[in-house]
């Protein structure tokens, strides 16, 4: 079985566009997006390890958090809270050991900006598997100024940057994942960031599931291919989600199963 980790790289597949387009299709850059494969989750993605200089880590984290620990070994192992929201209580108490786990550059809050988006694992002390090992936040910086700091619902990887509506403001395709009893599951979504808030443009649902690690009879791998269906300048396109399935052999043979979000 080929292990797939959640922090990943990305191959952008080439899309085609003709010059003699049917009348109902838009011309120009928007037309080129029609048929573009936004993401093919059947393709194994190489493990990426983002290395952020210690000085950058300090500069970013100190603006995100009033107090935090620089080493998870400094966590108070006896920390407990009667609050219904344990993760929030840990953050309020400074019982967190955050780190930057991914980053990318672009124009995320307004057109024409030069910004860096940092994906941060907050790593609340003693957060368990049931807590997704802590919350994840995205901090956007313009130079030394933090212009956004948002919760991204446990998204733990940035797969690619896009500007699908052509307005000069970039979106991010992000995923979160889990491994439980040998089954790997990955969920995805296309997100945008405006006015200090995050908005899910498209919830892609489960984009990859692999039960081959269980070694159970009938184990399979399932993956989706996300394609742009329409494109109009200034408007976000619609997407098609095709579902594929494969056996657990090393050289997998994917077969089409259905269309639609799982």
> Across residues 225-254, what is the average pLDDT?
90
Say whether pTM exceeds 0.95.
Answer: no
Closest CA to 47 of 133, 190, 160, 157: 157
Distance, CA of 41 to CA of 102 (rounded, Å): 19
The pair of three-digit structure tokens given for residue 137, joined into one six-digit string: 């936040």
Closest CA to 6 of 179, 146, 168: 179
Distance, CA of 190 to CA of 187 (rounded, Å): 11
The position carrying tokens 């952008």 is: 12
> Across residues 109-114, what is the average pLDDT?
94
The pair of three-digit structure tokens given for residue 18, joined into one six-digit string: 């003709």
Q: How far apart are the first and last CA of the chain?
A: 23
157-162 and 145-151 strand pairing: unpaired
Structure confidence at residue 70 (pLDDT): 94
Closest CA to 71 of 63, 80, 61, 81: 61
DSSP, collapsed to helix, strand or coil, labels residue 89 as: helix
Distance, CA of 252 to CA of 246 (rounded, Å): 6
Question: CA 38: distance to chain centroid?
Answer: 13
Burial of 141 (0-12, 13-18, 19+ CB in 10 A): buried
Question: Tens digit of pLDDT for each residue in 51-101?
Answer: 899 999 999 999 999 999 999 999 998 888 777 888 999 999 999 999 999
> Across residues 94-118, what is the average pLDDT?
96
Average pLDDT, the chain: 86
Question: Tens digit of pLDDT for each residue in 133-175?
Answer: 999 999 999 999 999 999 999 999 999 999 999 999 999 999 9
Distance, CA of 225 to CA of 178 (rounded, Å): 20
Closest CA to 117 of 87, 147, 137, 139: 139
């Amino acid at each position: 079985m080929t292990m797939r980790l959640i922090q990943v790289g990305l191959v952008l597949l080439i899309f085609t566009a003709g010059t003699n387009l049917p009348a109902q299709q838009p011309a120009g850059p928007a037309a080129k997006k029609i048929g573009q494969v936004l993401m093919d989750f059947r393709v194994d993605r190489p493990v990426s390890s983002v290395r952020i200089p210690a000085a950058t880590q300090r500069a970013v984290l100190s603006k995100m958090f009033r107090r935090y620990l620089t080493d998870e070994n400094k966590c108070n192992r006896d920390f407990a809270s009667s609050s219904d929201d344990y993760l929030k209580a840990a953050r309020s108490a400074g019982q967190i050991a955050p780190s930057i786990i991914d980053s990318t550059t672009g124009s995320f809050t307004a057109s024409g900006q030069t910004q860096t988006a940092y994906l941060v694992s907050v790593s609340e002390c003693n957060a368990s598997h049931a807590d997704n090992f802590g919350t994840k936040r995205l901090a956007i910086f313009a130079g030394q100024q933090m212009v956004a700091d948002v919760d991204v619902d446990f998204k733990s990887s940035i797969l690619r940057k896009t500007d699908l509506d052509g307005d000069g403001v970039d979106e991010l395709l992000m995923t979160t994942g889990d491994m439980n009893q040998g089954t790997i599951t990955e969920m995805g979504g296309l997100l945008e960031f405006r006015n200090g808030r995050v908005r899910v443009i498209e919830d892609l649902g489960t984009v990859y599931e692999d039960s081959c690690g269980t070694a159970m009879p009938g184990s399979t791998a399932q993956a989706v291919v996300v394609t742009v269906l329409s494109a109009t300048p200034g408007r976000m396109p619609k997407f098609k989600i095709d579902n594929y399935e494969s056996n657990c052999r090393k050289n997998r043979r994917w077969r089409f199963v259905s269309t639609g979000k799982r």
